[in-house]
Amino acid sequence: MPSKKTRRGFDPDDHRDFSGEELRKLSSAQEEVQWLLDRGYRIGPAVEFIGGHYQLSSRQRTALQRASSSKLQHERRLSSMLPFQAARDGCLYIDGFNLLITLEVALSGSLVILGSDGVLRDLAGLRGTYFIIDQTDKALELIGETFRALQVPEAVFYLDAPVSNSGRLKNRILAHADLWNMPVAVELVPNSDIVLSKMSRIVTGDSAVLDQCSSWFNLSKKIVADHIKDAWIVNFSHCE
């Protein structure tokens, strides 16, 4: 299947909605959402309430939800995050679509949000459909390069089988893995979140999974920092 030339996660309104006064508004909104989260409110209703007050667009509200977490969640995620030197100590279990799509978005020059927990998240939205694009191979190359640098001994990628083209992506990952000089497996499962939530040494940016897993690596942030210097990263917590 030939790759499709596109900008993963691109929205022409993002430069307007995530800069200047709009970004300052989002920063204030995030502070207020976190205040509610710290007092036991659920993220969905909190974002809708604050988003309505600030008249945020649907995409801005999605970004706010993905960027925000309570202090307790932040502390828990930080305590379970493993240092990168521990990557050489055993197998890494990868949330395949989650990692790849975030890197594809960053490589596309599209918006990436840095959450209050230090995790990068995109706004691409899978919605059951995935297609290989021209940035997919580059993203896989960067993953392999990072594995080598960290001396990762083994990796297993988990892909959601119901998502379209998951089988084709499995074959593309395995083709790249032939050059990585390490054992790599790709598992097609009904729901990767359920599988990874019960594991340790995982790689994901999914908030719900991070709140349940035993331990994890913040790999997407490292790959972007090391290799995608022109990535468009927005941090609501630090804006002028």
- Whether 186 and 226 map to the same domain: the answer is yes
Q: How many domains does the chain have?
A: 2
Q: In the chain, which stretches have pLDDT less than 70?
A: 1-5, 238-240
Q: Is residue 58 part of a domain?
A: yes
Structural domain including 227 reads: 82-234
Q: Determine, yes or no, domain membership for 4.
A: no
pLDDT value for 222: 98
Look at residue 223 and tell me if it is in a domain. yes
For residue 155, the SS3 value is: strand
pTM as predicted: 0.94
- Considering the domain architecture, whether residues 94 and 190 belong to the same structural domain is answered as yes
Please tell me whether residues 124 and 148 are part of one structural domain.
yes
Confidence at residue 238, expressed as pLDDT on a 0 to 100 scale: 62
Give yes or no: residues 29 and 117 share one domain. Answer: no
Same domain, 58 and 86: no
Between the two ends of the chain, the Cα-to-Cα distance in Å is: 45
Q: Given this model, what pLDDT does residue 52 score?
A: 97
Residues 91 and 182 in one domain: yes
Distance CA(182)–CA(148), nearest Å, equals 9
Is residue 159 located within the same domain as residue 40? no
In a domain, residue 39? The reply is yes
Q: Is residue 119 part of a domain?
A: yes
Residues 35 and 117 in one domain: no
What local confidence, expressed as pLDDT, does residue 32 receive?
A: 97
Instruction: Say yes or no: 158 and 116 in one domain.
Output: yes
Q: Is residue 3 part of a domain?
A: no
pLDDT value at residue 1: 46
Q: What is the CATH number of the domain that holds 137?
A: 3.40.50
Q: Are residues 149 and 193 in the same domain?
A: yes
At residue 227, the pLDDT reads: 98
Residue 63 near residue 123, CB atoms below 8 Å: yes
On whether both 25 and 90 belong to a single domain, the answer is no
Residue 5, pLDDT score: 64
Whether residues 148 and 48 share a domain: the answer is no
Whether residue 96 lies inside any domain: the answer is: yes
CA distances from residue 59 to 8, 23, 26, 92, 174 in whole angstroms, order as listed? 15, 13, 12, 32, 34
Q: What is the pLDDT of residue 6?
A: 81
pLDDT tens, residue by residue, 52-99? 999 999 999 999 999 999 999 999 999 999 999 999 999 999 999 999
Residue 239 lies in a domain: no
* Dihedral of alpha carbons 189, 81, 124, 91, sign: negative
Q: List strand residue ranges (DSSP E) for the chain, in order.
A: 92-95, 111-114, 120-122, 155-160, 184-189, 202-203, 216-217, 232-234
pLDDT digits over 91-123, tens only?
A: 999 999 999 999 999 999 999 999 999 999 999
* H or E element that contains 194: helix 192-197
109 residue type, one letter? G
